[in-house]
Amino acid sequence: MTTIRAGVDIGGTFTDLVFITSDGERFFGKTLTTYPDPSEGFIKGLDENMKKHGWSYDQLESIIHGTTLVVNALIERNGAKTALITTEGFRDQLEIASESRYDLYDLMVDNPAPLVPRHLRFTVPERLTSDGSVYKPVDEAKVEEVFQEIVASGVEAVAVCLLHSYRNAAHEQQVREVAKRVAPELHLSISSEVSPEIREYQRSSTTVANVFVKPLVERYLTQLEQTLIERGFRGTFLMMLSGGGTCTVETAIQFPIRILESGPVGGTIAGAHYSKQADEDHVLVFDMGGTTAKASLVDQGVPLTTTEFEVGRADRFLKGSGMPVKVPVVEMIEIGAGGGSIAGVNRLGLLKVGPKSASSVPGPASYGQGGTEPTVTDADLVLGYLNPDYFLGGDMRLDVEKAKEVIHEKVAKPLGLDPVEAAWGIHQVVNENMASAARIHAVEKGKDVRNYSLYASGGAGPVHVGNVANILGVNTIVLPVGAGVNSAFGFLTSSLAFDFVRSFYGRLHELNWAHVMTLVTEMEEEGKQLLARAGVVEGITVIRKVDMKYRGQTHEITVSLPLGNIGDQEEEIVNRFKDAYRELYAEANEEMEIETLNWRVIVQAQSRCYN
């Protein structure tokens, strides 16, 4: 019997599907995303393709799913009613934040409001020192009182973030045991498991965000998995991680913050896969869908990643204007311009495109679903880039006259242009915005975008990639087969993986290398055990990294580590740090002391690649 692997990516406008059979054949599918329940579109897309190709659900070996459910819930703040338990004296940590202004010259600047209001932030008597030693034991009687008050407040989820718990998780685990006894119905996350890293504000913010969406994700994935089982699915259901790997549904439910960017990351992973096959060292993946466009860098077949991410920025290009989340994420720059981005004329009489989107409901005017605003898709249609009779492979017809009508009324008429000129203006404004954002992203990483090949991804990517390449000065563009569903294909080239981190701060030349090796080995063994539980015991790869900085600096860079006994390779680690530092800042200081902060391990299974 032919078996099938499926990748399903739910975007803001379309739900994309890719199927790869055990015979090596590849099939594509696309359907409109459904609101308010995106899982309906997920199942509809699978049902349609099962029927179309004569397959049955019991042929599905695995399904890998990516979604923007988590990031949308955080941006729209429609998660669970959440409380925070922290150390006595640190109740306002979420509002104090990092005490920095993201816009120095804006006197009216507003920091992002915490997900947990002050009246739902509780403190308990306990204290650990910075080395993890117990200074004051947990007052369990007080913890019980706090949970009783939390339950009385109608709270559904609780985040626990105690001071220095990244060095010693015992107190947080003690609080969790009390919760199991007193309020077992509550969803609970502890920071020592969600984000065991130094810096309590970022750790608190990440833990709160995790539990805020936990009930939502649990309901969504449990219901979706049950629906698949009822249809005869007996394979493995996996979720895409923001860092580029995949995880089990159980892991996604426990740590939903790890699937924050699980949908968009697929395009980058696909770009990395293609770059290896084409033997391209430097690739810029340009992913333009229906709602947004994203750009990401891939060097030597490896996407650039970060452990610092911000959700819901007040200003897209100002660091610090969003809610910080400390999880591994493929680094992408987002531009609020997709096929559904709405165009109009602002009060200054200038053409503006995005960030508002027509989404799939009502969609662009040319969809004929009641949309009345001109969009990028409407402009592309008027310009002849799209075939009105073969949209979605002929399953959907576009209305050219309706597109011209709304562009004339909302853009051309106010600007004194004809509809075609106005459509070209919309097309060019979007291209300039995307090229500018991609260039900024590359420069911030010390890269020259002109040395990169441009890979198109997403439904609108191939339409715009040529003009974007011209603006950037890029000489090579690549349009992969099935570029419109590239993210879903990327899911199928990824591998099952687990990321771990432990904070151990110290000066490099004074480090207790035996302790470091113990930390790293423990993380590696934990990862291998998790892979074994998922049925993977062979073909396992271990990647080690460390966050390093010069003494006195408040920012660090992540450096790859050699395998083997780390303590025997101090000189090699120093050289790797200085090389990475020079790449970013052009110079490296040969005299300053170097410090380490966080030790990271990625344990991953072998990826399944396709030509």
381-427 confidence digits (pLDDT tens): 999 999 999 887 787 899 999 999 999 999 999 999 999 999 999 99
**Residue given tokens 């200074």 in the structure block:** 135
Residues 69-81 as b or e (16 or more Cβ within 10 Å = b)? bbbbbbeeeebbe
Q: Determine the residue type at 279.
A: D
- Residue ranges with strand state E in 176-225: 187-190
Average pLDDT over every residue of 144-152: 96
> What is the DSSP secondary-structure string of 122-175?
EEES-EE-TTS-EEE---HHHHHHHHHHHHHTT--EEEEE-TTTTT--HHHHHH
pLDDT reported for residue 591: 87
- Identify whether 386 is part of a domain: yes
Q: How confident is the model at residue 330 (pLDDT cuts 50, 70, 90)?
A: very high
The pairing of strands 26-32 and 60-67 is unpaired
Average pLDDT over every residue of 558-585: 90
Q: How confident is the model at residue 610 (pLDDT cuts 50, 70, 90)?
A: low
485-520 confidence digits (pLDDT tens): 999 999 999 988 889 999 999 999 899 999 999 999
Question: Which residues constitute the domain of residue 584?
Answer: 497-604
d(CA 543, CA 39): 34
Which of 493, 512, 542 lies at the terminal end of a domain, its last residue?
Answer: 493
Burial class (CB in 10 A: 0-12, 13-18, 19+), 477: middle
d(CA 82, CA 73): 13
Residues 197 and 230 in one domain: no
Residues 176 and 190 in one domain: yes
Residues 303 and 347 in one domain: yes
337-380 confidence digits (pLDDT tens): 788 889 999 988 999 987 788 877 788 999 988 889 999 999 99
* C-alpha 178, offset from chain centre: 33
Residue 325: which CATH number? 3.30.420
216-272 confidence digits (pLDDT tens): 999 999 999 999 999 999 999 999 999 999 999 999 999 999 999 888 899 999 999
Residues 351 and 487 in one domain: yes
Residues 504 and 415 in one domain: no
Contact yes or no for 196/121 (Cβ under 8 A): no
- Identify whether 611 is part of a domain: no
Average pLDDT over every residue of 109-118: 88
Contact yes or no for 208/94 (Cβ under 8 A): yes
DSSP 8-state code for residue 107: T
6-35 confidence digits (pLDDT tens): 999 998 788 999 999 998 899 999 998 888
- Identify whether 51 is part of a domain: yes
Residues 346 and 464 in one domain: yes
pLDDT reported for residue 128: 95
d(CA 475, CA 466): 10
Q: Which two tokens stand for residue 303?
A: 């996407």
DSSP 8-state code for residue 113: P
Look at the alpha carbons of 397, 400, 402, 406 in this order and tell me if their dihedral is positive or negative. Answer: positive
Write down the number of H helices and E strands in the chain.
17, 28
Residues 557 and 574 in one domain: yes
pLDDT reported for residue 336: 64
Enter the pTM of the model: 0.89
Task: Return the CA Rg of the chain.
Answer: 25
- Rounded to a whole number of angstroms, the distance between the first and last alpha carbons of the chain is 22
158-198 confidence digits (pLDDT tens): 999 999 999 999 999 999 999 999 999 999 999 999 999 99
Residues 101 and 65 in one domain: no
Average pLDDT over every residue of 572-583: 92
Average pLDDT over the chain, rounded to an integer? 91
pLDDT reported for residue 140: 94
- Identify whether 457 is part of a domain: yes
pLDDT reported for residue 99: 77
> What is the DSSP secondary-structure string of 483-502?
GGGHHHHHHHH--BEEEEEE
Higher confidence at residue 294 or residue 122? 122
Q: Please check the confidence at residue 538 and state whether its pLDDT lies above 60.
A: yes
**Strand (E) or helix (H) holding 178:** helix 170-182
Number of domains forming the structure of the chain = 4
Which of 451, 476, 493 lies at the terminal end of a domain, its last residue?
Answer: 493
Residues 19 and 100 in one domain: no
Residues 504 and 488 in one domain: no
Residues 372 and 448 in one domain: yes
Contact yes or no for 182/144 (Cβ under 8 A): yes
- Identify whether 610 is part of a domain: no
Higher confidence at residue 584 or residue 283? 283
Q: Determine the residue type at 437.
A: A
Q: Which two tokens stand for residue 597?
A: 């902060």
For residue 176, give the nearest of 195, 197, 193 by alpha carbon. 193
Q: Which two tokens stand for residue 537?
A: 């015991």
433-476 confidence digits (pLDDT tens): 889 888 988 888 888 999 999 999 988 899 999 999 999 999 99
Tell me what percent of the chain is helix, strand and coil, each rounded to the nearest 5. Answer: 40, 25, 35
- Identify whether 398 is part of a domain: yes
Q: Which two tokens stand for residue 199?
A: 């810096």
pLDDT reported for residue 609: 57
Residues 338 and 446 in one domain: yes
- What lies within 8 Å, CB to CB, of 461 at 6+ separation is 286, 287, 288, 289, 293, 483, 484, 486
Contact yes or no for 446/583 (Cβ under 8 A): yes
Q: How confident is the model at residue 576 (pLDDT cuts 50, 70, 90)?
A: very high
For residue 14, give the nearest of 444, 532, 462, 460 by alpha carbon. 460
Residue 36: which CATH number? 3.30.420.40
CA angle 535–538–539, rounded 5-degree value: 120
- Identify whether 609 is part of a domain: no
Average pLDDT over every residue of 62-67: 95
Residue 141: which CATH number? 3.40.1360
For residue 151, give the nearest of 118, 122, 193 by alpha carbon. 122
- Identify whether 360 is part of a domain: yes
Which of 461, 493, 525 lies at the terminal end of a domain, its last residue?
Answer: 493
Residue 577: which CATH number? 3.30.1490
d(CA 448, CA 453): 11
CA angle 602–607–611, rounded 5-degree value: 145
